[in-house]
Amino acid sequence: MSLSQAITQGLAPDGGLYMPPILPSRFGHSTAGFGVRLIDRACEVLAPYFAGDPLEPHLQTMVDEAFTFDAPTRWLSDDTALLELFHGPTAAFKDFGARFLAAAMRRLAPPDAMTTVLVATSGDTGAAVASAFHNRTGFRVVILYPDGRVSPRQAHQLGAFGGNVHALRVAGTFDDCQRMVKGAFADPMLNARHTLVSANSISLGRLLPQMAYYAYAAHKCVAQDRGVPSFVVPTGNLGNAFACLLARESGVPIDRVAIATNANRALSQLISTGTYEPCPTVATLANAMDVGAPSNVERLLHRFSDTRGVVEADWVDDAEISAAITRTFHDHGVAICPHTACGVEVLRRMRANGRAATGTKWIVAATAHPAKFETIVEPLIGQTVALPDSLAQILNTPAHADLIASTLSALVARLEQFVGD
């Protein structure tokens, strides 16, 4: 199967996850460091994966279209930095993957049909996908989110796009939303009628482009004579951390990778004991990482059966998240979001117990802008966090989302209604 087909399908027909059959390991990276842009690194790291694919001739324009904002590294001290992944339109790292997926889908979708992108979201994914497909001819976006279970700002954001984006508030939980979406994808008639496509985080169209910012930051670190960096990646479904591991396997100069989770501990347990046991989801302050059964875990098991010496994982409870936010602001004057705080705390511990030697360079992925989680961050740091312009704009636009029952038939009825519109 070609990469294009895998991107179009999202999930394999048997329910499995697609993997590149061989990783284009150790391919030639340019050693040029200074002045190399994120988009150049993106093309370089993605090119071997697109070799021979129908999308290969479009890779450069897709990257140009998707990566319209930077991913700066902010050094807090000599040996510790934040990789700021929140300068996109919805202020979280998911903009990178969602925008690249949209650029790919635009080139892959049947030209005369209306394609419906259907997503269930517990917050950030829905906004990133909506923003990436907003006002694109030939696409309609339908977002399901659990009513009353996303933050007020997140809900507003989801309902404020309008146009070809339809936000549906589901009277139920995130699991209900996911069940409805899965039910829709499992119905071949419905798929054909609406040309349904998925945009969830298991899609290679979102996963692969996330390698770009690790390549960009790592090469920059080397070029600045700081040495080969290691990364701490706050993770939930393991999408972002897997992209970092994939970048490392693809020859990007990365030393070690540490996975940071919140109190959902399945990954820490897997790495420390070798046994994977999904757990019931626990609600935490870092809600975009509230995942009991990470959906990319099979990819990790398949590809990295022996992770010793390379990958480690640790988890952080809510009190420690709060403490890390407070401490980072106190020590460095920098506000961080609760997800980033998990990474910062894991690194603090690794430094304290010698697992990360002084002087070795560690970069923590900063996954969202703190202003997205102002109800948590502001009381801890004792001041307001200024909204980035793109977020402020969305929050100033009126929002609307229809309430629907948590059943597949309620979703189908809505889809029919959109066709009539």
Ligand X SMILES: *Cc1c(COP(=O)(O)O)cnc(C)c1O
Q: Which residues bind ligand X (CB under 6 A)?
A: 92, 94, 124, 201, 234-241, 288-289, 339, 367-368
Round to whole Å and give the CA distance between 294 and 279. 10
HEC profile of 100-161: HHHHHHHHHCCCCCCEEEEEECCCHHHHHHHHHHCCCCCEEEEEEEECCCCCHHHHHHHHCC
Amino acid, single-letter form, for residue 381: I
Nearer to ligand X, 73 or 235 (CB): 235
- To ligand X, the closest distance from the beta carbon of 223 in angstroms equals 27
- To ligand X, the closest distance from the beta carbon of 22 in angstroms equals 23
Nearer to ligand X, 227 or 292 (CB): 292
- To ligand X, the closest distance from the beta carbon of 417 in angstroms equals 30
Contact in structure between 234 and 289 (CB atoms under 8 Å): yes
* Beta-carbon-side half-sphere exposure of residue 11 (alpha carbons within 13 Å): 17
CA angle 351, 265, 250 (to 5 degrees): 65
3-state secondary structure of 19: coil
Contacts of 376-380 spanning 24+ positions with Cβ under 8 A: 376/285, 376/322, 376/325, 376/338, 377/325, 377/335, 377/336, 377/337, 377/338, 380/322, 380/325, 380/326, 380/329
Round to whole Å and give the CA distance between 400 and 398. 7
- To ligand X, the closest distance from the beta carbon of 1 in angstroms equals 23
- To ligand X, the closest distance from the beta carbon of 320 in angstroms equals 16
Nearer to ligand X, 80 or 367 (CB): 367
Nearer to ligand X, 240 or 284 (CB): 240
Nearer to ligand X, 252 or 313 (CB): 313
Residue nearest to ligand X (CB): 239
- To ligand X, the closest distance from the beta carbon of 160 in angstroms equals 18
Nearer to ligand X, 115 or 367 (CB): 367
* Beta-carbon-side half-sphere exposure of residue 282 (alpha carbons within 13 Å): 15
- To ligand X, the closest distance from the beta carbon of 31 in angstroms equals 30
Nearer to ligand X, 253 or 343 (CB): 343
Contact in structure between 387 and 87 (CB atoms under 8 Å): no
